[in-house]
Amino acid sequence: MPLITLRIYLALLAVCGVRLARASINPVEIHEQHFYDSVTREPFFIKGVDYQPGGSSGVSGQRDPLSDAKICARDIFLFQKLGINTIRVYSITPDLNHDECMTMMAAAGIYLILDVNSPMENQHLNRYEPWTTYNEDYLEHVFRVVEQFGHYNNTLGFFAGNEIINDGQSARRTPPYIRAVVGDIKQYIKANSPRTIPVGYSAADDLRYRIPLSRYLECHDADHPDSSIDFYGVNSYQWCGQQTFQTSGYDQLVDAYKEYTKPVFFSEFGCNIHRPRSFEEVEALYSEQMINTFSGGLVYEFTEEPNEYGLVKMNDDGSARVLQDFVNLQGRFSAIESKEFKMIRKNAMSLMATAPLPTCKDSYENLQIDATVPNDVLTSGLKNGVRQERGKYLNIKDSDITSEFEVYDENGKPFSSPRRFAIVNKIEGTAEPSGKQNDQPEKTETSPDGSSKPNGDENEDVKKSNAVSLTSPKFASAIGWAFARF
């Protein structure tokens, strides 16, 4: 739809009383080495958890972590109790609708970092034979995830991969494919998304590959300029129990990334050798020692799974009980919201140095980067968009924000009712999920530099119940007003 026509169309809808999805939660963008609020310009530091209830088996064609609004209401209540602002989800199913959960998260002030891969067939790269899985089916899945979640303002970013390189064989075969997927996603966002959304990678806790891979994914390739990551996630479990900034090796981490030109954060942290975990590393992570290099982190993980990293135990009847780890982390997070931290946060942006993006080298330690990635895999979906329902915000009721499940404290005592999360952002949306898919998604209006609008997305799906007759006086008056303006 031409730009002027789209503006007239939106103006007519507004005059005729048709409500468009609008969010007051501000997108998070990147400036140099830090995230920041795109409207207030305040530095944004990730304070969150990794969230994948049920692990890899929790994702199927029928469910995923963000498809059940009742579960989301229960867990968002606990997110706020914990004091976080971000969750990471490792995999979702784009066939399912996520409008309710994403609306509730936006209203509660919770952002999402989403992995685009899943353990299901044709939805991830084979780390040892990536050429067998880097194909049209795989990219269609990736683009569908981006198409759906790119229309929520509280989508902070996408991970193009998680721990794909974790041994010598994967380090020899996969690095160029990771850059290719990053470039594919960024090109798709440029062509189809209403705003620029950062794309990054989450690295395994292996010193042989973590730092050289970060350099390789950071560098500028003149032939493929979009293949450089926007941020880098470090999975680190090296601070265990009662340690210090030096004995944990955090001082070496800061030294390794102090000149990195992209935001770096812990995409997983929280060693569980000693339980319950005391999370002493949280104080260091949000201190002056680290805050100019690291942009916060995500604790692994929210739900208790067989690997025993959980903060919350889920029961078969849908009830939840917080564990002592939850209480300990809650105390650490609440302690960093001090006047001192707020001052450090304000100073962080002014202390950032503008560093030139390094040019790619011919080789990187412990990596093999000379593999040729096929350049004929991309489908027409890259420019024209894939057939996928676009995410949008909904109107939410009081019953939506109240958990119907019991929630217990660490001593087994139920939290007092109502178990309701607080609305911190006013979200206005359509009446209900449409379930509609676009055969040919229309282009959305963006500013010339691709940045987000100050007051959020404007969704093209409208509330049909508010439709106005084309012959009504109200519509005729609207046409005259709109053409007078444009």
Q: Which residues of 262-297 are buried (b: 16+ CB within 10 A; e: fewer)?
A: bbbbbbbbbbbeeeebbbbbbebbbeeebbbbbbbb
List the catalytic residue out of 140, 218, 268, 458: 268
- Residue 305 annotated in active site: no
Q: Of 100, 140, 147, 163, which is the active-site residue?
A: 163
Q: Is 259 a catalytic residue?
A: no
Residues assigned a catalytic role: 163, 268
